[in-house]
Amino acid sequence: MSIADTAKTVIDLAKKGMTVEFQEKIMQLREEALALQEENLRLRSENLELKKKAELQETVSFSKNVYWRDGDKVPFCPSCFDKDKRLVHIHLCGRNGPQLIYQCPACATQYGRRGEEVCEERFWRPYAAARSDFQYVSHKPLW
């Protein structure tokens, strides 16, 4: 029974006077109204979450094998963003000859890049012993 049907029944019973059936219908009406409020709250929350995700997607760009945000010089972990839509900066954690090793503090994925500067001009990749600037290493921490 819908909330509108219950409300009509309540009005009809109210015309007859306060009966046990009337009181039961009022309780049913309250329960249905509460269920609608809970669903409304859940849908609003879901809507807000989807809007935030869409807004985040607009502010983040994928370039040189990592994610960048406008005005941010440090890249974000592509593994975390692709899997959970989380923006986690990767951090410098070591060096292998001319190659700098970076690691995501959240998922422990390691990345490497050649050169001294951490900037957008370089090509980032998950770390591996190869000639590319930024390569994949592993999902295990260095330390």
This prediction has a pTM of: 0.53
- Rounded Cα distance, 112 and 101, in Å: 4
The pLDDT value recorded for residue 62 is: 86
Residue 72 carries which side chain, given as an amino acid letter? D
Which residues are 89's β-sheet partners?
A: 76
Residue-wise pLDDT for 20-55, tens only, equals: 777 788 888 889 889 999 999 999 999 999 998 888
CA gap 75, 63 in Å, rounded: 9
Residue ranges of domains in the chain: 3-59, 64-136
Residue carrying the six token digits 């329960």: 31
- The answer to whether 98 and 130 are in contact (CB under 8 A) is no
Q: Which of 5-9, 41-45, 57-61, 105-109 has the highest mean pLDDT?
A: 41-45
Phi, psi of 10 (to 5 degrees): -60, -45
In whole angstroms, give the CA distance from residue 140 to residue 121: 27
- Predicted pLDDT of residue 142: 46
The DSSP result for 49-85, as a single string, is HHHHHHHHHHHEEEETTEEEETT--S-B-HHHHHHH-
pLDDT, greater one: 15 or 29: 29
As a whole number, the mean pLDDT across the chain is 77
